[in-house]
Structure formats: C-alpha cells, structure tokens
C-alpha cells in the first residue's frame, strides 16, 4: 500500500473495539520478528496488511564521551501533524539521541500500540501518543505512572488545562472504567492536544442573511442557531448544516454534544452502577431537534452514508454553509492551502442549551510511557520537551494546545484559542470504558433508524439502552 492510499476509519473502530488478548494472538509474532530500522536510514516504509508504517529517523553524530541514546516513538496521522513531527525530530538534536518516529494510520495504530504495550519484557516503544476515548481506557494499566517523575523533577503541571489532565491523563488505580471520565487518579500521561467541537460557517453567507456572529458573552441559543442554518440553506445547491453522523465512523458526535447541551449534568451515558442511562427526555429531545434539520431540508439525510471527511470536503466545495466539526479539522479550514474558501470561513462558538452547557464535548490526546518501555528516562525527557510551552506554541496552528499560558498568549491574536479554553472549562466528557466504540455504534444505529423513519424515538432509545446493558452484562460490568 502506498503512503498516499487512504485507509478508512471503519477498520480502526473495529480494532479499537477488539479485546487486548485477541490482538496479541492475532499479530504479536509477526511484529516481534519484524526488523528494526537501522539508525543511518532516514526513511523506511513498512507495509503490512492494511497498515502503513512511516519511520523517520533523526541521526545525531555521536561524541567520543557521550554516544547518542535511542528513543522509539509511536504516533498516528491527525493528532501528530507535520509541525509536531518536526519537533519530535528536533528533540534528537537537543537530547543527543537517535529518534525513530513511526506513524500508523487509524487502522493499525490501536493494534500496534496494544500489541507493544502488552508484550512481556521489553516493548517496542519508549513513548506513545494516546487518544482519550479509544486508547486510554484500553491501555491505562500498561502505562507508566508519572507521579514520581513529576515529584522528583519538580515538574509543574498546573499550566495544563485541568480537564485535560483529568480526562486525558489520570486513571483511578485499580478501576477498569471511569463512568464520568473525571475522577482523580494516577498520572499516566502529559496532555498533548486539546479538542472540542465547534461550528465552521460561511461568514459571507451569514452577513448576506443579516445574521450575527455569536460571542462568548452572547452565544447562540439552540433555536437561534437552527434559524441561522435555515436561512443559509438553499437545497440542493447548498445545505445549511452538516454534522457528525457518518456510517464509516459510527460515532453520534453531534447528538452526544446536543444531549449534553440540553441535559447538562443530568445528561449521562451511564448510572453509577454502570447501567445505561440514555433512555430519557434529554436524549430524545436532542434526537428530535436534529431530526427537524433533516425533515426541513437543512441537512441532507444522505450524509449518514458518507465517508469520514465528507463534511470538510463538502464545505470546501461550497455545498454546506456550516458544519459541526472537531477543532482539529476546523483549524485546517482556515488554511489557504487547504480550503479555497478560507477567507469566507469563520470558526463559530457552539450554541448553548437551556442549562448553559455548550453544544460540544471535550476530547483530546496525551503522551505516555509504556511500562515496558526500553528507555523510560529518555521518554520522560521527551514528554517534557514535546508538551513544553515553546513546542505547543510552535505547532498550535495544526495541534490545539493544552497549556493555559499558550492559549492565553495566542488568544490575544486569534479568538479561537479563547473559545477553546472557554469550552474546555465547561464541556462534558465521555465515559471512559474500553468498549466505548461499541456503545457509540449501538446509539448510532438506533438514531439512524429513527431519523430514517423506521422506528419512533421511544423505540430507538429503549432498544439502545437494552443493547448497551446487554453488552455491559456480557463484559461483566453489571450483573
């Protein structure tokens, strides 16, 4: 497979929902026998079944008294964009180290990381990038606790967004799940990327329609936002809104954000005993609100069948007046080299529900050290380096920062970074369980059936809750 070939995200979701034991049985022997890249080779392409590995090696000439150490780092496309990869390689110069960075597509990343972290003895990687929803719940017991490193080096973590530390990096010792995602616990990583869902909108169409831009002091209400999207809609030439609910991903992201916005703290995925808690009035109101967008022609129903990335591509093509997008993708739409409509594009603060909760939820990535890492001390130096203010500022345009000082500094020139902090302090987070993707797929399927008119809203959520409880019972979380 060539590096330019696209690997869809459905495969990644399949791997992410697979148990750790199954992954080891399926792939560990082949990877243990795979040759390591020699230091003098700058780029190596390794092709596996539906998995492309890109290895970039930074070589630093050894000195007679201090030969270079070696560090091997695992990453993935998207959360580790070119600007971050450049800083990874720069670390080799600073630390007098040979840096090998391997970047896997979504389909191979979770599998490769799980396999290495669970190897007996020494693993393959010294540092890994970690997704808070898909990887952290499955990997937490295989990650090196960092509390002693922080204490020993007097490393200050207070500059990181509190929710980034709690949600991306902390896990309660001895617990298999985090129902709310915010419990205190062991520090297992340092925050890398802070993300939340925003609206990207055609500001030229907004001005033409006589609609205002929202502010932090005066955000859109849900009804006002619906009216704005309705005014911008002129199907089939252009639709007023596209949102995250694509078959390839199977993630009901926009519904989840709306559920939180309407219900506030009462909107939960699980009860304290880990039984499902989505068959309620807030969940149904969110589903009914979005169904109106379909029924009134504001959003095309065929968006459900589309591939991941369809929203951004159709916004760039002028076929969508607004999209509900993750900040990582939204930032790219302000890039002239990526979006021909960049000068007509504006990132817009999400509307708020009746509880004051914004229509978004909070997610992100961290850097961690596997317990079986061959070089933990050098990995710890790398974590401190890559999450330092200077590095976060250097790659902020491609990778939303997690440090308060960086967000405040950049917010003086670009309002988006102020919004990101505002959202991070208010937004909800998903529950952290290893099978979260399976839970998402259950909800996605029943929402899709409701929006297509196959079942009513009560049946949709009764069925979803029953199926989630059946899954949780089969996994041993509930009796």
Which CATH number goes with the domain that contains 110?
3.40.190.10
pLDDT level of residue 181 (50, 70, 90 thresholds): low
Contact 320, 242 (CB under 8 A): yes
pTM of the predicted structure, to 2 decimals? 0.78
Judge contact between 111 and 28, C-beta under 8 A: no
Average confidence (pLDDT) over 98-113: 88
- On whether both 170 and 209 belong to a single domain, the answer is no
At residue 86 the predicted structure's pLDDT band, cuts being 50, 70 and 90, is confident
In a domain, 106, yes or no: yes
The mean pLDDT of 237-259, rounded to a whole number, is 89
- Domain span at residue 338 reads 197-362+433-474
Tally of domains in the chain: 2
Query: Do 231 and 327 fall within a single domain?
Result: yes
24 is a domain residue: no
Answer whether residue 141 shows pLDDT above 50.
yes
At 470 the pLDDT is 97
Among 62-66, 263-267, 347-351, name the most confident range: 263-267
186 and 75 share a domain?
Answer: yes
- 23: in domain: no
pLDDT above 90 as % of the chain: 54
**CB-CB contact of 40 with 348 (8 Å):** no
Q: Identify whether residues 290 and 314 lie together within a single domain.
A: yes
Buried-state track 331-352, b at ≥16 Cβ within 10 A, e below 16: bbbbeeeebeeeeebbbbbbbb
Q: What is the pLDDT of residues 321-333, one digit of tens each?
A: 999 988 777 878 8
- The tokens for 191 are 């925050």
Pair (164, 211) in one structural domain: no
Tokens found for residue 286: 């969110």
CB atoms within 10 A of CB 193: 28
The residue whose two tokens read 């069925």 is 463
Q: In terms of domains, do 152 and 250 share one?
A: no
Radius of gyration of the chain (CA): 22
Considering only residues 108 and 462, tell me which one the structure prediction assigns the higher pLDDT: 462
Q: Assess whether 312 and 446 both reside in one domain.
A: yes
Mean pLDDT of the chain: 83
Give me the pLDDT at residue 183, please.
Answer: 66
pLDDT digits (tens, 9 = 90+) for 346-372: 888 888 889 888 888 888 999 999 999
Q: What are 26-50's pLDDT values in tens digits?
A: 333 333 333 333 333 233 333 333 3
- Amino acid 453: pLDDT: 96
Q: What is the pLDDT averaged over residues 210-230?
A: 91
Q: What is the predicted pLDDT for the residue at 100?
A: 96
Question: Which one has a higher pLDDT value, 183 or 398?
Answer: 398
- Supply the pLDDT for residue 179: 66
Is the omega angle on the peptide bond into residue 236 within 30 degrees of 0, that is, cis? yes
Residue 144 and residue 118 share a domain: yes
451 lies in some domain: yes
Same domain, 449 and 302: yes
Does residue 106 carry a pLDDT above 50?
Answer: yes
Residue 83 domain-assigned?
yes
The answer to whether residue 42 is domain-embedded is no
pLDDT at 180: 67
User: Is 286 a domain residue?
Assistant: yes
Indicate whether 165 and 265 sit together in one domain. no
Q: With residue 117 as reference, give the H or E element that holds it.
A: helix 106-117
Domain boundary among 426, 442, 461: 426
Q: How far is CA 378 from CA 39, 154, 198, 320, in A?
A: 17, 17, 37, 47
Q: Are residues 341 and 373 in the same domain?
A: no
334 with 235, same domain: the answer is yes
Residue 6 lies in a domain: no
Q: What is the pLDDT of residue 57?
A: 38
146 φ/ψ angles, rounded to the nearest 5 degrees = -105, 0
């Amino acid at each position: 497979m060539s590096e330019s070939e696209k690997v869809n995200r459905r495969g990644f979701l399949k791997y992410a929902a697979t148990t750790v034991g199954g992954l080891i049985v399926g792939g560990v022997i082949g990877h243990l026998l795979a040759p390591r890249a020699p230091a003098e080779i700058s780029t190596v392409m390794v092709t596996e079944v539906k998995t492309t590995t890109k290895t970039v090696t930074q070589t630093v000439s050894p000195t007679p008294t201090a030969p270079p150490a070696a560090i091997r780092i695992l990453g993935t496309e998207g959360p580790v964009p070119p600007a971050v990869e450049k800083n990874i390689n720069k670390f080799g110069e600073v630390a007098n180290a040979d840096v090998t960075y391997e970047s896997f597509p979504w389909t191979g990343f979770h599998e490769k990381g799980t396999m290495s972290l669970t190897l007996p003895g020494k693993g393959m990687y010294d540092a890994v990038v970690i997704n808070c929803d898909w990887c952290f719940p499955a990997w937490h017991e295989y990650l090196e606790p960092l509390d002693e490193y922080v204490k020993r080096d007097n490393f200050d973590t207070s500059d990181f967004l509190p929710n980034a530390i709690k949600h991306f990096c902390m896990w309660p010792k001895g617990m298999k799940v985090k129902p709310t995602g915010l419990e205190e616990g062991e520090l297992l990583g340092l925050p890398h990327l802070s993300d939340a869902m925003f609206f990207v909108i055609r500001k030229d169409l907004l001005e033409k329609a006589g609609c205002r831009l929202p502010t932090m002091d005066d955000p859109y209400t849900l009804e006002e936002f619906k009216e704005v999207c309705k005014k911008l809609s002129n199907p089939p030439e252009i639709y007023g809104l596209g949102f995250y609910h694509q078959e390839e991903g199977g993630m009901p992201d926009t519904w989840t954000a709306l559920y939180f916005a309407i219900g506030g703290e009462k909107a939960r995925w699980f009860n304290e005993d880990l039984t499902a808690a989505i068959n309620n009035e807030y969940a149904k109101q969110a589903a009914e609100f979005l169904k109106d967008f379909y029924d009134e022609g504001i959003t095309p129903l065929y968006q459900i069948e589309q591939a991941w990335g369809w929203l951004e591509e159709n916004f760039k093509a002028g076929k969508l007046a607004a999209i509900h997008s993750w900040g990582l993708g939204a930032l790219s739409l302000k890039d002239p080299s990526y979006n021909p409509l960049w000068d007509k594009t504006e990132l817009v603060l999400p509307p708020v529900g009746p509880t004051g909760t914004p229509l978004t939820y909070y997610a992100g990535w961290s850097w961690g050290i596997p317990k079986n890492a061959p070089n933990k001390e050098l990995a710890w130096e790398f974590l401190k380096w890559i999450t330092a203010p200077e590095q976060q500022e250097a790659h902020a345009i491609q990778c939303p920062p997690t440090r308060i000082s960086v967000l405040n500094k950049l917010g003086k020139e670009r309002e988006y970074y102020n919004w990101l902090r505002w959202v991070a302090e208010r937004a909800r987070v998903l529950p952290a369980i290893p099978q979260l993707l399976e839970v998402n797929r259950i909800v996605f399927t029943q929402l899709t059936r409701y929006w297509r008119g196959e079942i009513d809203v009560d049946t949709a959520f009764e069925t979803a809750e029953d199926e989630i409880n059946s899954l949780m019972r089969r996994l041993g979380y509930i009796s």
